[in-house]
Every structure is written in structure tokens, then in C-alpha cells.
Amino acid sequence: MILANDYQEGYVVRRALGFALCLCFILSSAACATIGRDFSASKVYDIQIGKTTMAEIQSMFGQPWRVGLDNGKLTWTYGSYHYSAFSDAKTKDLVVRFGANNIVSSYTFNTTDATEIRKPNGSERE
């Protein structure tokens, strides 16, 4: 014969187990985060200061993830940031500054993947 008390204990155990499983799922899902939009780092080396136009940048990388101003110059930012509690972060960002006539006046590229970096003259990094 099943007693009401036995039924309640089983119910409590099942609820606690279900809660624990849901909590584990939520924590493991929250342990990873991706922000921004990926872009091809190889195209960074095609940018020429004083020559590359805004239209060419858009053609190479698409719409910027963020736009802003840096010392009065229009900036476009492309960024991809992946963080995980279980592995190293993988990030890269490109900030392009435009001068007169929407021509690139400078840019900054940073990444956590050293294999994506080359010297400006095209030779591989040291």
C-alpha cells in the first residue's frame, strides 16, 4: 500500500532532480557568450590608408557592427567576441577611421589568434 507521505517524498525528489537538471542546463548555456559579427581577418591586409574607400570597406566586411566618432573622425567597428568558461576567449576587432571624402585615414586590428597577424609589408609575423 502506498502511503500519501511516500508519494509526497517521491514528488519532492523528482522536483529537486528536475530543478537541478534545469539549473545545470542554464549554467552551461550561460558559460558561453558570443557578441558581434564574424569577419574575415585576411581582408584586413587589403586596406590601404589614404586609398581604400568607405564603399570598399563595406564591400570587404559588410555593415559595421558599431559606428562612432574618434577625434571627430567617423569610425566603423567590426568585432567578433566569443567567451567561454571552458576555453580561452577568441576575439578580434577592426576599427576603421575615415577622413576626407570617406577615405580610410587609419585602422586598428586586434585579435587573440596570433596566426591572423602579419607584418604590414605582407611577410609573416616574427
Query: CB neighbours of 66 closer than 8 A, spacing ≥ 6?
Result: 76, 77, 79
- Per-residue pLDDT tens listing for the chain (126 residues): 555 555 566 666 677 667 666 555 655 555 688 888 889 999 999 999 999 999 999 999 999 999 999 999 999 999 999 888 877 888 999 999 999 899 999 999 999 988 888 766 544 443
β-partners of residue 89 are none
| pTM greater than the 0.95 cutoff | no
- pLDDT at residue 43 in the model: 94
- Delimit the domains of the chain by residue range: 1-30, 32-126
Separation between Cα atoms, residue 12 and residue 6, nearest integer Å: 10
Q: Top-level CATH class of 32-126?
A: alpha beta
- pLDDT at residue 67 in the model: 97
